[in-house]
Amino acid sequence: MSYPSMGGDALQVGSVAGIPVSFSPWFLLLVYVAYSFGGTPVGGAVLLMTLTLSILGHELGHGLVAKHYGLRPSIVIHGMGGYCQHAVERDRRRSLRVIAAGPGASFAMALGAQTLLEVLPTTAPPLLVDIVASMAQMNLLWFFFNALPVLPMDGGRLMQLLLGYRFPQLRADGLTYWTGMIVGLLAATYYWFRFQMLFAPLFLGVMAFQNSQQASRFTWAAVMRGRRNELPAARNGSGFDLPRPVAGLAALFVLIAVVNSVAPGPSAYWAWMLPSVVLDGSLWWTALTAPLSHSLSFWEPLGYTLVALFAFGPTVYRALGSAPRFFALYLGALLAGSAVTLALATPLGFAERVFFGAGAASAALLIAWARAAPQEPLLPKTTLLPAQLALGVLGFDVVLGVAGLAPWAWHAHLAGAAVGFLALRVGERGEGSPTPRTQDR
């Protein structure tokens, strides 16, 4: 989490990248939790280390962006996570970037750890495998937990700022508090009945109660029926806007993942209609529905899909100029990836005909984005261009797949990349830059 400077008792133990790092006395609660759930002393030590590194990495995401804007950040690790305190930032866009950098860092660490886990040799020490696996799981959990739209977590603060670009601040605040109260209660209930754990439901319950106290200041009528002549709190775009077709596609995948994850078993209707793998003898239409699932009952592929839609979708959508063209690109890549996987399943020795459709669609978005984005350095003081990044990511993906170091269907991803490359050839002009047809959402 990211906060303006707030003081408090904590022991500074050093600094990372010039950002002071302190530990609160409440860190002892995290030690207790780690050793309670670790099972053994070694397991407790591994869990404590991965928890601490995951929290530190998350807060460093906030801190590095805050430092870039001259906000003098410092990090405190405590018993229920951590926070990055910094000077107050008045610019809403900068505040959004500081807040979003935390979940972004968590997701990047989860992806890196998961990739490392895939390429570790079978002779790797079991302790190393446990540490890497724990880092992947912990960071992914931390990413989704912080993304919940519940104040004061990052998801709640992002929601509050983003709503300010569409509604007056009074209405944006009310919607955020009411949402935080409802989501916090639902999440606390889910964690309790699913895992029978007291810590997470208690934490979420406290935040839901805090949101309910604030929500009581906003009547439901005032929140839902704001005056039409009121201006939004911020009139310019946030820089995090998603075109509606892109946001709708992301919402569809989240819905499928939630339904599949809560289905009572493999015989349930949704699990039967939207399987994550297609086996010999499956009904023919599962070849069309399976790409929409793509193991989305597991949260890692869902995360990769949402990141691709969020990072590359808006640029590709605007370059193509319309929702039908965007959907044609995405669905075409889904089907192309699935068709290639099905055709090569037997020659390449796949025991199951797995459809990595969503991975192919993400590769299509990556390549289409690299062609549509301005060919300018992605980061200050670097020479890395979008096309170079895209080719590097795709090449790394193919090398891992060909070498057998990762289980994904690299050939399906190449098929999706080909769709993304070809899609933007329609409407190109000049020296190969695509024609932006519209900026509408």
pLDDT value of residue 308: 86
Q: What is the pTM of this model?
A: 0.69
Token pair 């992002």 in the structure block, residue: 158
Most confident of 142-156, 223-237, 301-315: 142-156
Asked if residue 411 has pLDDT above 90, the reply is no
Asked if residue 429 has pLDDT above 50, the reply is no
Q: What is the mean pLDDT of residues 284-307?
A: 65
Relative to beta strand 74-78, strand 2-4 is unpaired
Q: Name, in order, each residue with C-beta under 8 angstroms of 358's C-beta and a sequence gap of 6 or more.
A: 253, 291, 292, 294, 296, 301, 304, 305, 334
Q: What is the mean pLDDT of residues 120-132?
A: 84
Q: What is the mean pLDDT of residues 149-169?
A: 87
Burial class (CB in 10 A: 0-12, 13-18, 19+), 180: buried
| Other CB atoms within 10 A of residue 67 CB | 18
Confidence of residue 197 (pLDDT cuts 50, 70, 90): low
pLDDT value of residue 120: 83
* Domains of the chain, residue spans: 1-147, 149-238, 244-434
pLDDT value of residue 224: 67
* Furthest C-alpha separation in the chain: 67
Asked if residue 66 has pLDDT above 80, the reply is yes
What secondary structure does DSSP assign to 279-325, as a single string?
A: -TT--TTHHHHHHHHTTTTSHHHHHHHHHHHHHHHHHHHHHH-SHHH
Confidence of residue 441 (pLDDT cuts 50, 70, 90): very low
pLDDT digits (tens, 9 = 90+) for 68-80: 888 888 888 887 7
pLDDT value of residue 431: 39
Percent pLDDT > 90 in the chain is 9
Between the alpha carbon of residue 55 and those of residues 42, 46, 49, 110, the distances in Å are 20, 14, 10, 12
pLDDT digits (tens, 9 = 90+) for 257-283: 766 666 555 444 444 455 555 555 555
Q: What is the mean pLDDT of residues 19-32?
A: 81
14: β partners: 21
Q: What is the mean pLDDT of residues 332-346?
A: 81
- Quote the CA–CA distance of 144 and 424 in Å, as a whole number: 33
- In this structure, the chain runs to a length of 441
Amino acid (1-letter code) at residue 82: G
Q: What is the mean pLDDT of residues 197-202?
A: 72
pLDDT value of residue 427: 46
Between the alpha carbon of residue 332 and those of residues 313, 321, 323, 359, 364, the distances in Å are 15, 17, 14, 12, 9
Run of H or E residues at 84: strand 81-86
Report the phi/psi class of residue 93: left, alpha or beta, with left for phi > 0 and alpha for psi in -120 to 50: alpha
Asked if residue 434 has pLDDT above 80, the reply is no
Asked if residue 375 has pLDDT above 70, the reply is yes
- Nearest-Å Rg of the Cα atoms of the chain is 23
2: β partners: 84
Mean pLDDT of the chain: 78
pLDDT value of residue 366: 92
